[in-house]
Structure 1
């Protein structure tokens, strides 16, 4: 009985561990090396673009042209990315008095719309294996 339970637990752990994947986010079109690229990973439409609902966050010192950030050990699922170029490294998305971002922003699979950011469904992608996603940063 103990052997059977042990092997069942071992099998479940092996399956759970094998379902973890790496997501490499490659941000392109960065005009200058100042600041950081800040990336937020979301898992639901309800929490999309809400600070307290970020599933995982990452950042990297900006390199002109391309900057990469890797999220490790993610379970399979549906995700969406929102990111910005924090040019002054104040860890905030600077906005004008109308609430329009002053710093460059980008999303997975979608672009900023005329009257606000795209919805989760337009940015969503399925992670089923290790993946590289390339996101060009918007020009403002």
Structure 2
């Protein structure tokens, strides 16, 4: 069992890593998805969205398919319209409230900065499973996620 160590969120490598577009070169196999993250802890600190489409790589170091960084611009929520290849996806989100470019954790590895997962999964003692967080992309979709403060 993966312990709540949230070695999870972000043993993700360089969080500002530039990644290719999720849409790829096959627009027919993609769908428009809008991810809305609400209840931000800060209207100024960046929000990082990590997109996963491989079950065994979920929350693993560098296991995300791609990530995006959004500046809230004074708003309490951010919206990310994106094209995703059809299939199963899960999203992990963090907000870097002290702008040190990493997810801060306490001495036992629990995040001390806001985080969230697709399907608004609220883990208690262990990191969530891909199956709990996944959503199926097969046409236009809106994914609403509330940040844990």
User: Which category of TM-score, normalised to the shorter sequence, fits these structures?
Assistant: 0.7 to 0.9
Counterparts of 1:1-140 in structure 2 under 5 Å?
16-62=26-72, 63-72=74-83, 74-139=84-149
Gap runs ≥5 in structure 2: 1-25
TM-score by length of 1: 0.80
- 1:129 CA drift (Å): 1.2
Given that 1:111 and 1:117 are in contact with CA atoms closer than 8 Å, whether structure 2 keeps it comes out as: no
Given that 1:25 and 1:68 are in contact with CA atoms closer than 8 Å, whether structure 2 keeps it comes out as: yes
Considering Cα pairs closer than 8 Å and 6+ residues apart, tell me whether 1 or 2 has the greater RCO: 2
Given that 2:34 and 2:143 are in contact with CA atoms closer than 8 Å, whether structure 1 keeps it comes out as: yes
Greater helix fraction, Structure 1 or Structure 2: 1
- 1:133 CA drift (Å): 0.6
Given that 2:41 and 2:114 are in contact with CA atoms closer than 8 Å, whether structure 1 keeps it comes out as: no
Deviations 1:19-78 (A, max 9, x none): 222221100111321310000000122100113111110010124421112333x21100
Given that 1:34 and 1:88 are in contact with CA atoms closer than 8 Å, whether structure 2 keeps it comes out as: no
TM-score by length of 2: 0.75
Given that 2:37 and 2:79 are in contact with CA atoms closer than 8 Å, whether structure 1 keeps it comes out as: yes
Moved over 4 A (4+): none
Gap runs ≥5 in structure 1: 1-15
RMSD (Å), alpha carbons: 1.5
Tell me how many residue pairs correspond in the alignment: 123
Q: Which structure's CA Rg is the greater one? A: 1
Greater strand fraction, Structure 1 or Structure 2: 1
3-state SS, counterpart of residue 46 of structure 1:
helix
